[in-house]
Structure 1
Amino acid sequence: MGKYYENCSTFAYSWEQIVTAFWKRYPNPFSTHVLSEDTLNREIIQGNTLFTRRILTKTNRVPKWGERFVKSTTVAIVEESYVDRKTKILTTYTRNIGLNRIMSVTEKVIYTPDPSNPGHTVANRMAWIDSQMYGFRRAIEAFGLERFRTNSARASAGFVHILQILYPNYQNKLALMSLHASSVPSFDETKEKFKEKAKKAAGEIARQSAEKISLVSNANVDS
């Protein structure tokens, strides 16, 4: 059956910024296990989608009990990405192409603008971990799941690190925009204030009219 992992996180950066930083996220201090990255091919498909295939080389640290199965200290990872600027969807797929009989890890991440905040980006991450090692499958898959959780958290931290370098003033800009938005009255607030002013004006007109009528009445009585 294998193991399945899923989580959702939000980056406080726009979708365009996420796409730009995606190609520049290595090296960073949180992903020292990534040794190299090379672009194999890049092309425009279906008119408006940028497809890129890259190969990454990562260190392959294993627990003591796994050393009997794994001799290599590195593993090759294929990364495929699709950037659709029209729909604003960045979809990435990664999978190991070495040692996949011992453990295969396939990851899919979808980056889209946050519906509730256009200046933020939502990342939906899914992963499938599987092993073909009879007798050790459950232990290897459990180890792979925990390793993936740790690595995905480090990957997100590294991504944010690069975003902060590329866009050092973006958070301040968002804070100012938020402050400005909170200082501008909403339509309902403006409507209520207008109604209150109208009531006061109507009351003042009625009071003045009543005073005039009273003066006229008194003048008629005196005459």
Structure 2
Amino acid sequence: MHYFSQLFHYEHPWSHVVIGMWHKYPNPHCTHVQTIDVLDRSVDPQTGIIRTERVLGCKQKAPGWIVKFFGGSEDAFVREISFVNPATQEATITSVNLSLSQFATCYENIRYSPTTDGRTMFHQTAEIQRFEQNAHLGKP
């Protein structure tokens, strides 16, 4: 297992950063993201929390021989679920790869929250779990 974490402060208010989050894809600087499909979107009438579930379609940047070796394709898909709470000004995004998950799974968590000085804190973690070829046999 590999673990990654980073913390960053945007010099913009939370509302601007969250609007930018929704307009992140597609854009000419991230051409690997080809499609964004919204599977579900709902608003909790009690809390006002907006829940959105999407699937992002990407073109992998791995060399062609690696893709063929693992039996995949250059198309990759990621499932993303986000929660935006306007009352507390918290936005969280969780994502997991759907493609090649039989070899490795990447669980990513992102949180946007306001700071007392009007900036926005971005906290990202990712955990990559590899699956050994004999894992299904119960061997270490």
TM-score bracket for this pair, using the shorter chain length: 0.7 to 0.9
Letter in 1 for 2:81: E
Residue pair 1:91, 1:111 contacting (<8 A) in 2 also: yes
Counterpart residue number, 1:50? 50
Once the 2 structures are TM-superposed, how far is the Cα of residue 65 of structure 1 from its aligned partner? 7.0
The reply to whether residue 4 of structure 1 matches residue 3 of structure 2 is: yes
- 1:1-223 alignment, distance < 5 Å: 2-45=1-44, 46-63=46-63, 66-67=66-67, 68-115=69-116, 117-118=117-118, 120-134=119-133
Query: What is the root-mean-square deviation in Å for CA atoms of aligned residues?
Result: 1.8
Given that 1:43 and 1:50 are in contact with CA atoms closer than 8 Å, whether structure 2 keeps it comes out as yes
Question: SS at 1:20's partner residue?
Answer: helix
**TM-score, with normalisation over the residues of structure 2?**
0.86
Q: CA deviation at 1:47?
A: 2.1
- Alpha-carbon shift at residue 87 of structure 1 (Å): 0.8
Greater strand proportion: 2
% identity of equivalent residues: 27
After superposition, give the CA deviation of every residue in 1:82-128 in whole Å (9 maximum; x if it has no partner).
Answer: 0011111000011111210112111000100123x21x111000001
Q: Normalization by structure 1: what TM-score? A: 0.55
Higher relative contact order (CA 8 A, sep 6+): 2
Match of 1:210 in 2: none
Check 1:61–1:133 CA distance in 2 against 1; reply closer, same or farther (3 A cut): farther
Q: 1:6 to 1:98 in 2, by over 3 A?
A: same
Q: Which has the higher helix share?
A: 1
- Over 3 Å counting, the alpha-carbon distance change for 1:43 and 1:37 in structure 2 is same
Moved over 6 A (4+): none
